[in-house]
Chains A and B, each alone.
Chain A
């Protein structure tokens, strides 16, 4: 039983689907951030697998940049979330609709 590229792509699809379900279902903003991390990690797995099976290092490089982006997203997002929580003492997503769109 040989593990090929398709196995990794299927795994990446499953993880990405789980992350998307999390993004659409959750109303807790903190858990929304967690779901975003899952999405980024799912794509990272696909990048690393393609990099391995094609003998090319570009995939790994992009995985590094994705990790850097994820780290900075967390820093800024969590800062904004703390400011929001201090103002409204709630991290409910539905409470964010202040513009009455």
Chain B
């Protein structure tokens, strides 16, 4: 009973938040709604007994990803409207629903044919975090290390891409210097 109430409450909240994210024209509203939606998603993980995944969801999404977006938005003029050209609404909604159903079919097909075998069954008597640690550092050690290298590469790429010409500040330059910079940019 309690589980059902929690499920329906958080399902409603998550869907509402994500709906706001994709429909609002203000980037700041979209960012806030997305952050709230991420927190509500982590509630499902707690209901499902995946405590560690829920904690990681909160830390990574609301802590890291949202902060990154918030800092990234400082570079953009988000108050300016981006013109939204309206296509055919029915085609878009129809295609989206079709693709989403396809995803569920992909997930459900092995269950219907009863092909699912628990490869790494849950261990009795230990908490979720301990279980995750046991599986992650034995069976999934190589993917784990590859993911670590991927994150390192992404970090270097982010710094190299966004950090270019960060030492130049237009507000601290006089007009002649700004003109000079502009000419340099055109030539390069």
Chain A interfacial positions (CB closer than 8 Å to B) = 1-3, 5, 7-22, 24-28, 30-31, 33-35, 37-38, 41, 43-46, 48-52, 54-58, 60-61, 63-65, 67-76, 78-83, 85-86, 89-92, 94
Consensus secondary structure, chain B interface: helix
| B7 engages A3 (CB within 8 Å) | yes
Q: How far is the CB of B164 from chain A (nearest CB, A)?
A: 7
Evaluate whether A8 and B44 lie within 8 angstroms (CB atoms) in the complex, with A30-B78, A55-B121 already known: yes
Which B residues are within 8 Å of any A CB, using their own CB? Answer: 1, 3-4, 7, 11, 14-15, 18-19, 21-22, 27, 30-31, 34, 37-38, 41, 44-45, 48-50, 52-53, 56-57, 60-61, 64-65, 68-69, 72-73, 75-78, 82-85, 87, 92-93, 95-97, 99-101, 103-104, 107-108, 111, 116, 118-122, 131-132, 135-136, 140, 143, 147, 150-151, 153-155, 157-162, 164-165
- Assess the A75–B68 pair: CB atoms within 8 A: yes
Count: A-B pairs, CB below 8 Å: 230
B143 vs chain A, min Cβ distance (A): 6
